Each structure stands twice: as structure tokens, then as C-alpha cells.
Structure 1
């Protein structure tokens, strides 16, 4: 009897195995077929420059589709990496620059190094939250712990998070509940956006016109405050409470990392990269005429109010701004070194990429395009390959 049914059993098992293999191949080729994911579409009109500066950014005539993906989260709520593993030699902590993107830089890094990388990015987080992510989710045998620092708002996030702690009984508000609205499955028209403010006189500050070294033109809209966070003297950053607390955060992450090597990955703003190409005879002059200067706060007796702050309206010459533009980066570099972290600066690679080819940042958003993520992932991979991690 057993001999009679043995061939049938073999055929059934073979069919089951082929079915499982076929499903696996289909999901690999068409990941959007996997149940449980969230469809995500991102277009020009979804850019954050419209929301940060209502009425100052002219919407383009066409709403281009920039990203279309189905994303999945892991058991802790973080974005599931393309290369899933039982353990991750590399973990990456950050904000939306790590959490977002069609293909995030962490997946580019994993593919380049042929090594699993866990994505611990969360949109809206800042340095104090990074330390909490490390405390809760950073345990394990890792070779590298990477902390991405976004130049645009990570220093200001230290202050806002500190204020939130004070208002929350001394406890950092920390919530990994992902709030997602109804999925958007098509590219919408401008009339379907209630949060884009139009100027009745069609007079907008952005986007600015630009010209690359090879004379190829392009347009770019900026978040002005991100420019003014670069408009400070070197001592302004070094003496601030923001930088002091950043040092405490990095020291904490370094201590929790154990034998792993820890590096701060410095992500510059697109203002840092592309503003140099803006047409001096275009609207750039109006941006500079409406500048703010970054100033040290005024400490009180217990030195609790020395947060970085802005001056009132204070026009700035382009050459003055250009002379200050690296001060924040240099201060963060020194702070990371003092805390025992290595420093991976993405600025040179992004500056090189800015001279030609696809834009590394979206025209109407502050975040990286696919090319930006590719440049970032490759730059980090090059650094890790050239810098073997030595046990502490």
C-alpha cells in the first residue's frame, strides 16, 4: 500500500515545493503583491517646501510622479529592509532621510556591501529620539552603528524635544505608532490639494533658477530657514546648548554600542549643496535680502536658556553666507569626534554629484531623490570598506 501511494506523495510534495518557489519568485519580482504593505505615492505637489512656506513656492504646471512603492514595516514598526536577516551587522538610526525614499540609502548600502543593514529611521525624530532608539532597539552583536545627522533641523530638534520632555514630566515622548491616512493611488491635480497656498498675484519667491558649471539650467525651491541655520559664526554653534546636548546624545549612543564601531553620517541640506548655483540676478537676491542670522542664546543663571536663536530680519551678502556655510558641519564633526564617533561626511560626494546628472534632491521637497540615496549609500559603503572596524 505504501509503495502504491509513494509516487503520488512525491508528486504532491514536488508540486507544493514548486508552488512555494513560484510564490517566492513572484513576490521578489512584484513585491507589491505581498499582503499587508502600504502603497505610497509621492509627487511634486507633495513636497514639503509648499507646507513650510505657504504662498512662497509656485507649484509646477505638471505634478510629476516621483515615488511609487509598497512599503512594509518590521515587528517593531520600523521600515523593513530589502534584505531581511536574523541579525544585522550594521544598524542605521535617523529621521525621514533614513526612513523614506523609493530605495533608502540603507538598502543601497546593504546591496553594495552584500551585508544586511537594519533601518531604524523614523520620520520626525531628532538626536534625543536617536538615543532612545539605540537604547530600545540597538542591542545585539553589531559591527557598525550609523547615526545619520540631518543638517536642516537636527540641532533645532534637540531644543523642541527638550521642551517636550519638560512638558511631559521629564520623560521624552516616544511613540512608534505610524499614522497613515487612506492610500493615494493616483497622481492628483493641484485642485485636489487643500494645503498648497497660491498667490493671487502670481508673485512667488521660489523656485529659484540655477545654472550648473556646464551651463545646464534647473530650478530648485528651498526652505529658507534651512539656509539661515547655516548662517552663523563658528563660535555660535560651538558655544550653544544645542551642540552641548548633541555631544551628550552621541556619548550615550557610543556607550550603548559596546564593541561596535559608531559613526555619525552627516547629511547636508540641499541649500548647502545647490544654492551656490542660483542665478544672482534672479530671486536669489530677494532670499538674501530677507535673511536671518543665527545667534547664540542668552543664558540665564543656570545656563538653561542658551539655545540657538535667530536675529530679526538681517540681509546677508552671498559671500558672507558662503563663508559660513560649513560652520555647522565643522562643529558637528568636532562634537562627534569628542564623543568617540567616526565622521562620514556626505557633503563632498553630494557636491560632486550636483555638478551634473540627475538632481540629488527633489525640486520641491527637502529630501533626497533616488540619486541622492544612491550617492549616500555608496559613500557610506566606500567609507566602511576603507575603514575596518577594530574591536574596542
Structure 2
């Protein structure tokens, strides 16, 4: 156990900024893994003068959850760290509860981190979690393995927020031994022993199998000419796409479409095969429209897809419209799809609209009475396309805490 602290400190030194006014966030459940991480993160933050913020999610699934949250608040108080309790409100699904709880937890934590100004959230996943994920995939699940570093999977709540898992080289048993040596106690969630859940069954069946260490990282230098264009989509050089991992194509589709549900494997394989050829093609996948000629591949929002719901922003508000654009305003306004409103554009805006492919025009953001902020500058309103930055984050283009 004597090497546990240096291993964790090395990861924190490598991934976090030594000096930054932003807080470091830790997700604390009160279990042994997250408690070890919280204690070590507190030591690191204290040594470097960084603020520490602790988030605890109450899933509202067990009678004990309120007491667990109070226990986490007491830990934060003992460490002198800021604390925020987050609750998963509303009806819970009858099936797929673990996945739904995980998604809710990521959304709540990512949203809280953004509000607090934290760019990195530390999470206490271990080598045991990686083994369990591998065992679940062997049993037919699609559970991904946790990575040391990567963007928050919550979208758009997690835009610009990264997750760091410094404990992935150590097992759950090692961490509990470390806590025991120091006289610490932790919470044991009975759900971890419930055989109804696939992770519990995978945990029981582990026999020392190897953990996979495959992570998705791509040399982004080949995409130096990538550009944001075509109403928030992306244009990438076709030659650079001929031998990329299929995971990259999936990520490009999701980022251009503003969606989160990965495409089916067979459809992704067909797209990869087509892009390896020289044929021109137009296809749809995972909510995206892919247009390829001999030089470029354009990833756009599929104009035939539903989901262009209005977005209402308060005075001096910011939000994400259609998963693709971050819109900031100094006054209350409602953003909706341009489809059906083109007649309300000014002549310069109509001229700019005609320069775009017909298939993307209707999915532009539009403000009643003011026009489209993508086609003309609107005072007090700014629009930031998110697709390319999101893709870079997903592919390892950001390797440590942003400044």
C-alpha cells in the first residue's frame, strides 16, 4: 500500500494544473473507492493551494440515501471542502435502472461542475471496475471500460467538463486495506450485492481476468484542416478518414448531430467501408447526414430527424440548442428552428442562407423578430458551434485540465 499515494499524486500532477483559480471537483458517494480518492485529492489540493469541491448524488432509491448524503457532508466539513448535495428527482424507470441512474449521476455532476467553474471531476473507479466492465461485455453487454481521462459523457450538460480517474491501476481490495490502516470507515451500498444487477453478477464471477487497456486516442494532426462550417457541421479531409477507427466515425456523427446514442455496429461498418473507397456518397447515421466527395467528408445534422425543440433563455442566460450550439444572450429570448421562418429574415440574411446547402437551412437557430444569429450578428447574442471542440475532446485532443 505504500505506493498508492505516489501513484495517485503522479496522475493528479500530470492531469491537473498546479495553479488555477478553478475548483477541483470530486464525486463522493461515501463508498470506499470514492473516499480514498477524496482524501488524496484533499491532500493534493491543500499542497497546491487549489480549492476542492465535493459533490454527492442522492439517487432517491433507498431509505438510507439521505443519511449517506449527510455522512458525505461530514467528510467534506472535516476536510474543509465545499460540499453540494445533488438529487435525482422524478419517476425512476422499471427496467434499465443502473444505466439510468448512471446517466442521471453524470448529468447532475456535470451541470453542478459547470456552475461551480470546475473543469475536472475526479471519480473513484478502480481496476476492479475495469475488470467488471470487461466481464459484462463478455456476457453480451455494451458496458464501456472507464478511462483515466476523458470528457464527461453527459451532453450537453458536460460540455467542457472532463473526468479524471486516478485509481484505475488499483483494486477495490487494495483501497479498502489502505482505509483500514488509517482507521477510516465507509459506506457499503447493499445494491452492490444484489444479483439482479449485471455488475453484481460480473463481480461475483471474476477470476483474475486481465483488464483491457484499450482507449480511443487519435493523432489529430491529420485533421489540421478540419473546419466548422455548414451550419455547425464539420468538414474533414477524406484522405484522413480512410483508416480511422470506427469509434472516430461514430463520434463525428454524434458531434455533428448533437446527439448521444451511438450508431449500430453494422451500419457503422458499412459507412467505414464506403469512406475507404473513392465513391461519392450521402448517408445518414446516428442523427447525422454524411456527404462525401473525393476531397471532403461533411458531417451535418440530418434534416429529417425530429428534435428541434425551442429553447427559452432568461436575461443574461446561456444554453445549448439542439445539442449543437451554445447560445449566450443579454436578454430573454426563445430560439427555434428556422424552418418555416425564412420569410422573416432580412435580405442580407436570406442571401447568406442561400449560400448554405438546402438540407441544413431549416435546422439553423432562429429568433422570432430578429433572425438567425448564424447568418448575421445580433447585438447581445453570441453563438458557439460545439461539434468540432466536442470531437477533439472525445478523441484525446485535450490531455489535461484546460486553463
Instruction: Report TM bin, short chain.
Output: under 0.3
Normalized per residue, the structure richer in strand is 2
TM-score (norm 2): 0.27
Normalized per residue, the structure richer in helix is 1
TM-score (norm 1): 0.27
Q: Which has the higher contact order (CA 8 A, sep 6+)?
A: 1
